[in-house]
Amino acid sequence: MAAATTVNYYTNYSGSRPCRMKRGRLSIKPDSEVLPICDGAVKRRRSAAVGFLCSQSQQHDSVEDWGNLPHHVVLHIFQYLSLVDRARASSVCRPWNDVFHIPDLWRRFEFELNQPATSYLKSTHPDLIQQIIKRHAQHLQYVSFKVDSCTESAEAACDILSQLVNCTIKTLGLISTARPSFMNVSQSHFVSALTVVFVNSKSLSSIKIDDTPVDDPSLKVLVANNSDTLKLLKMSSCPHVSPAGILCVADQCHGLRELALNYHLLSDELLLALSSEKHVHLEHLRIDVVSENPGQTQFHTIKKSSWDAVVHHSPKVNIVMYFFLYEEEFDPFFCEQTPVTHLYFGRAVSKEMLGRIGLNCPRLVELVVCANGLEPLDEELIRIAERCKNLTAIGLGECEVTCSGFIEFVKMCGSRLTQLSIMEEVLVPDNSYSLEQIHNEVSKYLGRMWFPDMMPTW
C-alpha cells in the first residue's frame, strides 16, 4: 500500500504518530469524533488546511464528502503543506493519496544529506530518496542537494545525481552547508554524476556548483546539451575550471545572464564574449578575489576596453566583487575605470586603494570595508561621496574616520544613503563633534533616525 509506506517514513522522524483514518469514503459531521487528527501532538502540527475545512463544515452544518473534494482543491491545499503533513494527509483516503503523487507536488525537491557526527541537521530518509528516484524522478525540475561537511554526504549526493536519468531538471544546486565536502569526492565520481544530469536534462537554466571539483570537460558537456537554456551559473571556487573552460560557456550559452566565478577565471576574452551581439544582456556578474598568503598569487589586470564593452552591451549589469586579499596585493585593481557596483573588502584594504575607488568606480552602489589601517579615511570617503553618485550603501568595520569627516561625507550623500552601517569605534571624536552629537547630525542629513552600530562591551 503506497499510502501506508509513505506515512511511515515521513512520520517516524517528525516524532508524532501517524494519524490512522478509515480509508475510502469519509464523511465528516460537524461534531463527530471522526477527526482523531485533532489530538495531542498531531494537533500541534495540524495543518491549517484541515483546520480550515473543519470550520467550513461546522458553518454549513452539513455532511461533506471529503473523499470527493475536487482534486485541484486538494492539490491546492497540499501545496501549502510540508511534505510530512502531505504524507500524513495522504493516508486519509485513496483520492487524497492520489493527489499526493501528483507531479506538480514533486517539481521541487531538496535532498538533505547529513551525518549525525558532523551535522545538527537531519537527512532525507533513504526510503524517500528511493521513492523519488523510482516514482518522481521524471517530475523533478528544481533540485537541490544540501550536504554537510562529511565526504560521505557529498558522495551520497553524487550517487543520487547519477540516478537522475529520466529527468528534465531546470535548476540544480549543490550546496555545502558547512565545510565544502564535494571537494573531497573523487573528481571522476563527481564529474560523471554531474554530467548525467547535464546530458539527460536538456533544459537546465540555473546551476549552482560552488566549491566543487567541476572541470572543463564537464562544462563542455553542459554547453553541448543546455546551451539554449542556461541562464545562471554560479561556480565560485571551482579550482579545476580554467579560463578556457568558462570562456567556452560564455561563447556558446547566449542566454547566460548571471555568472559567479573567481577572479582567476575572469579574462578580457570572457568579458568580450559576454558582450557579443548574440549574447543577452548580462544582469549579474559576481567575482571573488581570494588569496591566502601574501604574494602567493599574481593577479592580472582586466583591460578598460573589456569592462567598457560589458557596460556598453549590458548597461544595467551589476558587477559584484568580494575581495579577500592582503593590503599589498591590490595594485592590479581599479587603476582604470571599472564598472563595479558592489564592493566588499573582507580583509584589510589599503587607504590608497580606497582612494582609487573614489576615482575609478563611478557606478559603485555599495561599499563594505571590514578593516583598514589606523589612518583616518576622511579624504577617501569624501572623494567617494563626490564621484560615486549611485552610492546608496556603505559599511565600515575596523576603520577610522573623524567625526567631522564623516558628517561631511553624509552631508554630501544625503538621503540616498539607505544603508549606513558604521561601527561605533570607527568614529574618532574631534574638536567639532563628540560621539553624542554625531547621531543627531547624521540623522538630520539622512532624514531619518540613525545610530552607529554597537558591539557589546563584554
Partner 1 sequence: MAPNSIHWFRKGLRLHDNPALREAARGACTVRCVYFLDPWFAGSSNLGVNRWRFLLQCLEDLDANLQKLNSRLFVIRGQPANVFPRLFKEWKISRLTFEYDSEPFGKERDAAIKKLATEAGVEVIVKISHTLYDLDRIIELNGGQPPLTYKRFQTLISRMDPPDPPVEPLSEAFMGGCVTPVAEDHAEKYGVPSLEELGFDTEGLPSAVWPGGETEALTRIERHLERKAWVANFERPRMNANSLLASPTGLSPYLRFGCLSCRLFYFKLTDLYRKVKKNSWPPLSLYGQLLWREFFYTAATTNPRFDRMEGNPICVRIPWDRNPEALAKWAEAKTGFPWIDAIMTQLRQEGWIHHLARHAVACFLTRGDLWINWEEGMKVFEELLLDADWSVNAGSWMWLSCSSFFQQFFHCYCPVGFGRRTDPNGDFIRRYLPVLRGFPAKYIYDPWNAPDSVQAAAKCIVGIHYPRPMVNHAEASRLNIERMKQIYQQLSRYRGLGLLASVPSNHHGNGNGGLMAYSPGEQPAAAAVSAAQAPGAAGGSVTGGKGSGSILLNFDSEDQPGLSGGQQHGYHGTADPGQATASQRLYQACSSHEFAVPQHPGRLSHGGPSGKRERELERETMGDGDTHTSSRKVQRHSSEVSGK
Integer-rounded Cα radius of gyration of the chain:
28
**Whose Cβ is closer to partner 1: residue 84's or residue 158's?**
84
Residues 140-199 that bind partner 1 (CB under 8 A): 141-144, 146, 148-149, 170-173, 175-180
Minimum separation from the CB atom of position 305 to partner 1 (A): 25
Answer yes or no whether residue 208 interacts with partner 1 by CB under 8 A. yes
* Interface pick for partner 1 out of 6, 19, 47, 92 (rule CB under 8 A): 47
Stretch that binds partner 1, among 300-308, 342-350, 377-385, 401-409 (CB under 8 A): 342-350
User: Is residue 309 within a helix (H) or strand (E), and if so which, with residue range?
Assistant: helix 304-313
Residues 2-21 that bind partner 1 (CB under 8 A): 10, 13-16
**Whose Cβ is closer to partner 1: residue 20's or residue 448's?**
448
Q: What stretches of 302-415 adopt beta strand conformation (E)?
A: 318-324, 342-348, 366-371, 393-398, 401-402
Residue 246 DSSP SS3: helix
Answer yes or no whether residue 75 interacts with partner 1 by CB under 8 A. yes
Answer yes or no whether residue 457 interacts with partner 1 by CB under 8 A. yes
Stretch that binds partner 1, among 266-274, 309-317, 319-327, 402-410 (CB under 8 A): 319-327
Q: Look-up: residue for cell 560589458?
A: 310
SS3 per residue for 211-224: CCCCCHHHHHHHHH
Residues 364-423 that bind partner 1 (CB under 8 A): 365-366, 368, 370-371, 373-374, 393-395, 397-398, 418-421, 423
Minimum separation from the CB atom of position 114 to partner 1 (A): 9
**Whose Cβ is closer to partner 1: residue 162's or residue 171's?**
171
* Interface pick for partner 1 out of 28, 34, 121, 133 (rule CB under 8 A): 121
Residue 394 DSSP SS3: strand
* Interface pick for partner 1 out of 30, 243, 255, 346 (rule CB under 8 A): 346
Answer yes or no whether residue 126 interacts with partner 1 by CB under 8 A. no
C-alpha 51/C-alpha 381 separation (Å) is 57
Answer yes or no whether residue 306 interacts with partner 1 by CB under 8 A. no
Minimum separation from the CB atom of position 81 to partner 1 (A): 7
Checking 453-458 for CB contacts under 8 A at 24+ apart, the result is 453/421, 453/422, 453/423, 453/424, 454/423, 454/424, 455/423, 455/424, 455/425
* C-alpha dihedral, 81 to 85 to 88 to 91, nearest 10°: 0
C-alpha 86/C-alpha 71 separation (Å) is 14
Stretch that binds partner 1, among 22-30, 119-127, 220-228, 241-249 (CB under 8 A): 119-127
Q: Is 178 left (phi over 0), alpha (psi -120 to 50) or beta?
A: beta
Minimum separation from the CB atom of position 186 to partner 1 (A): 21
Residue 177 DSSP SS3: coil
